[in-house]
Structure 1
């Protein structure tokens, strides 16, 4: 059967001050009227029932996610004891899914994408499921046709086409890490590269075998956890064994080495909401080019991104290309070109004894 696993352990530091430790990006409403994680569940529709939907997140977020997703079974909101990147997250989820269903196919996806066509997304997942049923050793990923030479995404280079019904499918030639500007332009000009969406399909048994082969030490800890599922000491074993894992991304651990990966060209609209500038892609700008979520009065202000709290108005005068985010207890003002430096805020707040703002 098809299972959905949603990775929701990120901290969303680039969305400070709206994103906080106990309310990170995936729990915010940045597009539409549903939070990011609610929207991720919504787009699954009837493709995967709630009983086969799993969230893997930081253990401190379990209660908040349960509140936002009351349809999920409590056991299907899995709290990681500590942050260990995506490969251990995938391994833990695969072990839990495999315990329930030895023939399970897993659709694995992040919790912080905007995909506005549910129908196209579900069709793409169904196409991937068919490809795995045809060849159970396959791993399927989804490539986003690049709209510009992005330096913030990894890339997938496609190889030979594969015959498939209802989808454009190619053998993966190679994965490429985030490039510099010149390399990104070369990728886009070549016409054979996609943005790496970070959405995958595989059999649970396939990904566990790949981790066992490529990351035997990591796998040994996952196997120790799997051995205690349903036992009285499961929680204790999870705490101990998961913390002992050396973190690594699933791309490094498996994807870049696995010999049988195919990429489906995504026909659904997609946005990786990675920073405040994403708001300018998700919301219509005003006549001055300002993207405003909330209340704003602008005098000779162009190209700004304004996000305000209910009941608060931001006024800007004679400024261009600023990011202004207002919350009840903190305000961010930064030039758009420096948005990556929002990551540095956490250290500065800790140094100044302002951990309550994190």
Structure 2
């Protein structure tokens, strides 16, 4: 069976002050009328039912996620006691789905991406699942055709073409994965034409990922197996706390993907955006005739190229501003040069250093 594993443990630091520890990016309505995680689950439709959907998140977010996704059974929510990156998250999910479905196929995806065209997304998942069934040791990912030389995404270089069925998206052997490049390298990738952005969505057999962890991360897998053995018993919470905390965090890219041999990339037939920061709203929400992107109640005079996001009926007035970023929430307001967006992480670090946790 096809199972959805939704990774929802991120903090969304670049979306501060809207994104906080208790209400991170994936729980916010940033694009559209629903939260990012609500949109992610809805996108699966009837292709993957609730009982085959697993949300892995930080345990402090469990109640908030339950409130947003009331149709999911309690067993579909896993709360990590601490952050240990994506490999332990995915490895634990693989063990849990394997308990009831040893031949499980996993569709692993982040909770905070914008994907448009549910039908095309579901068709792509079906295609990926078929490719895995045809070759059970195969890993399938989705590549996004780049529209500009982005430095914030990893890249996938495609190799030879894989034969597909009529109507299916172009599919290729993965030649190599590349880390986030500098500007010159990103420009080269786009010019060469055989590179995709790495969407971070993977489809594989649970057994495939567990075998890879056994080979590459045996110590991690040992901790995860102890958690799996205790799952559903009265020792579940204590064992999860002890064993998960003992794991050394590592991403699935470093733990598995850079060593994987049989990997295919499907050229994504849907529109995709990872919503990496506030400037993403310009692409997804759009701009007015002065180049402003507005979410909320705003009055702008002589304001150009500015992003404004407010909440509720709070009025934000701007006068004589250019190329700015303004985000107002109930307890904090950010005013910045739009080009300094990456430095929001430094703001968060400074707040942590000062002990102003009420703003985080």
TM-score w.r.t. the length of structure 1 is: 0.99
Confirm whether residue 248 of structure 1 aligns to residue 250 of structure 2: yes
Match of 2:293 in 1: 291
For residue 334 of structure 1, what is the aligned residue in structure 2?
Answer: 336
Q: Distance in 2 between matches of 1:200 and 1:350?
A: 34
Q: Report the alpha carbon displacement of residue 353 of structure 1 after superposing the two structures with TM.
A: 3.4
SS at match of 2:271: coil
Q: For 1:105 and 1:301, how far apart are their aligned partners in 2?
A: 51
Corresponding position of 2:172 = 170
For the residue of structure 1 that corresponds to 2:335, the secondary structure is strand
Moved over 2 A (4+): 229-232, 350-353
Partner residue in 1 for 2:114? 114
Q: Give 2:307's aligned residue.
A: 305
CA RMSD of aligned residues (A): 0.8
Query: Does residue 344 in structure 1 map to residue 354 in structure 2?
Result: no
- Mark the runs of 5 or more structure 2 residues left unpaired by the alignment: none
Where do residues 1-358 of structure 1 align in structure 2 (5 Å cutoff)?
Answer: 1-165=1-165, 166-358=168-360
Q: Deviations over 1:19-59 (max 9, x none)?
A: 11110000000111110000000100110011101100000
1:225 alignment partner, SS class: helix
Tell me, in whole angstroms, the C-alpha distance in 1 between the residues paired with 2:330 and 2:76: 33
Shift of 1:296: 1.4
Give 1:311 deviation, angstroms: 1.3
Residue 181 of structure 1: how far off its partner (Å): 0.1
Quote how far apart the aligned CAs of 1:313 are.
1.4
Shift of 1:347: 2.2
User: Quick one: distance in 1 between partners of 2:329 and 2:62?
Assistant: 24
CA distance in 1, matches of 2:257, 2:44: 24
- SS of 1:245's equivalent in the other structure is coil
Unaligned runs of 5+ in 1: none
CA deviations 1:221-243 (Å, max 9, x no partner) are 11221222222212211111111
TM-score, normalised on structure 2? 0.98
Q: Distance in 1 between matches of 2:274 and 2:208?
A: 27
Structure 1 pair 353/247, CA: closer, same or farther in 2 (3 Å)? closer
Secondary structure in structure 1 of the residue aligned to 2:209: helix
Report the CA distance between 1:217 and its aligned residue: 1.3
Between the aligned partners of 1:345 and 1:175, the Cα distance in structure 2 is 32
Partners of 1:109 and 1:38 lie apart in 2 by 13
1:99: Cα distance to partner?
Answer: 0.8
